[in-house]
Amino acid sequence: MRKKIIAGNWKMNKSFDEGMALVSELSNMIKDEYHGSAEVVIIPPSLYINSISRMTADFANISSGAQNCSNHSSGAYTGEISASMVKSCGGKYIIIGHSERRQYFGETNDWLAKKVDAVLTESLNPIYCVGETLEERESNVHFNVLKAQISEGLFHLSAEQMANVVVAYEPVWAIGTGKTASTEQAQEVHAFIRNLLREKYNETVADHLTIQYGGSVKADNAVELFSAPDIDGALVGGAALQSRSFADIVKAMA
């Protein structure tokens, strides 16, 4: 059985107090209402990871993580955060290559491959994001784009290392637009990604890989998305900013 993971990416939202209130409400909702086995991952601005990991320490299926990290382990890189710092604050997952990082901060597949290494060196789990733009989908090059993102960012890893990687498929045109990919579109891409892993590694690696979908996931489309055989959870943006809407997505996994 593959691990199912529902992660909430807060992006650059919430004050510290707002964030703590959200985590407190959310953890109580999950404790009372959710009896499934999916892991719930809270991915706040990095400043809050330590407080959140302490707050949720007693909740076996809730963990936390960061939205980005440096490819360096330490040193004179003003403003950067290393994977080991995330780990020392209790974080377990680090998003690598979110489309907003690729788009606004110029992160390339080669650079992201080094960040993936930095995360794995600390025995944390990268959530490696891939996804095509609307233009790429409309000109029918999306599978080539996805293949390059996967192969250039991940294929230097060994099969053993791949076991600790999570992939998130987030079509850029579905992020924050309210326009989610149809379950068929998402399933098609997830199966495509799994097949790339099968060709490069083996059946076990492919079958073990958790592939999340992200892009306007809400409670009312989550049930259908999660029913697809290759969709193993969600990377949620907007709907993770409110405890009720995020807890309802978690419940959709049950």
Q: Strand, helix or coil at 7?
A: strand
214 near ligand 13P (CB under 6 A)? yes
Candidates 3, 113, 103, 8; CA nearest to 56 is: 8
Q: Which is nearer to ligand 13P, 9 or 68 (CB)?
A: 9
Please tell me the distance from the alpha carbon of residue 223 to that of residue 248, in angstroms, as a whole number: 10
Per-residue contact track with ligand 13P, 1 to 30, x per CB under 6 A? --------x---------------------
Radius of gyration, alpha carbons of the chain: 17
Q: Which residue in the list 98, 142, 190, 208 is annotated as catalytic?
A: 98
| Residue 170 is among the residues annotated as catalytic for this protein | yes
Q: Which residue in the list 107, 142, 170, 190 is annotated as catalytic?
A: 170
Q: Which one of residues 116, 235, 250, 252 is an interface residue with ligand 13P (CB under 6 A)?
A: 235
215 near ligand 13P (CB under 6 A)? yes
Q: CB of 160: closest distance to ligand 13P in angstroms?
A: 27
Q: Strand, helix or coil at 52?
A: helix
Candidates 96, 62, 100; CA nearest to 81 is: 96
Q: Which stretch binds ligand 13P (CB under 6 A): 48-56, 78-86, 145-153, 208-216?
A: 208-216
Q: CB of 79: closest distance to ligand 13P in angstroms?
A: 21
- Residues that bind ligand 13P (rule: CB under 6 A) add up to a total of 14
Q: Which is nearer to ligand 13P, 132 or 170 (CB)?
A: 170
Please tell me the distance from the alpha carbon of residue 50 to that of residue 65, in angstroms, as a whole number: 9
Q: Which stretch binds ligand 13P (CB under 6 A): 77-85, 146-154, 225-233, 237-245?
A: 237-245
Please tell me the distance from the alpha carbon of residue 17 to that of residue 162, in angstroms, as a whole number: 37
97 near ligand 13P (CB under 6 A)? no
Q: Which one of residues 175, 181, 193, 206 is an interface residue with ligand 13P (CB under 6 A)?
A: 175
Q: CB of 54: closest distance to ligand 13P in angstroms?
A: 24
94 near ligand 13P (CB under 6 A)? no
Concatenating the DSSP letter of every residue in 105-159 gives H---HHHHHHHHHHHHHTT-EEEEEE---HHHHHTT-HHHHHHHHHHHHHTTS-H
| Residue 98 is among the residues annotated as catalytic for this protein | yes
Place of tokens 């969709």: 231
Q: One-letter amino acid identity for 188?
A: E
238 near ligand 13P (CB under 6 A)? yes
Place of tokens 């907003």: 100
Q: What share of the chain is helix, strand, coil (3-state, %, to 5)?
A: 50, 15, 35
170 near ligand 13P (CB under 6 A)? yes
Q: Strand, helix or coil at 182?
A: coil
What amino acid positions are annotated as catalytic residues? 98, 170
Q: Can you give the binding site for ligand 13P, defined by CB under 6 A?
A: 9, 98, 170, 175-176, 214-217, 235-239
